[in-house]
Amino acid sequence: MTNRVKTGGRTAGTPNVVTNQLRQNIATLLNNNFDKMQQDLNSLQPSNRLHCLIELYKLCLPKLIETNEAENTNFNPIQVHIIKQ
């Protein structure tokens, strides 16, 4: 490979239109089938239901970038308390 200066392509920070459109389409599909999906999820065992929900969220939400705690001076940890009923 030759060393050359990169030209063209997307500039840094420009959103990927295809990815955004795909996420919107998936969100629309989920919204349009919410009632049926809710019935299907209710029929699953709790662990399988949770797994499905986690996978669905991955399709709709953008991935978070892990940051170094030392770099973020406004770091406030979140505490989650799980209460069994």
pLDDT in tens, 29-43: 878 998 998 899 999
Give me the residue spans of the domains in the chain. Answer: 17-59
pTM equals 0.44
Task: Judge whether 61 and 54 are in contact, CB under 8 Å.
Answer: no
User: How far apart (Å, rounded) are the C-alpha atoms in residues 19 and 3?
Assistant: 30
Residue with the bigger pLDDT between 59 and 39: it is 39
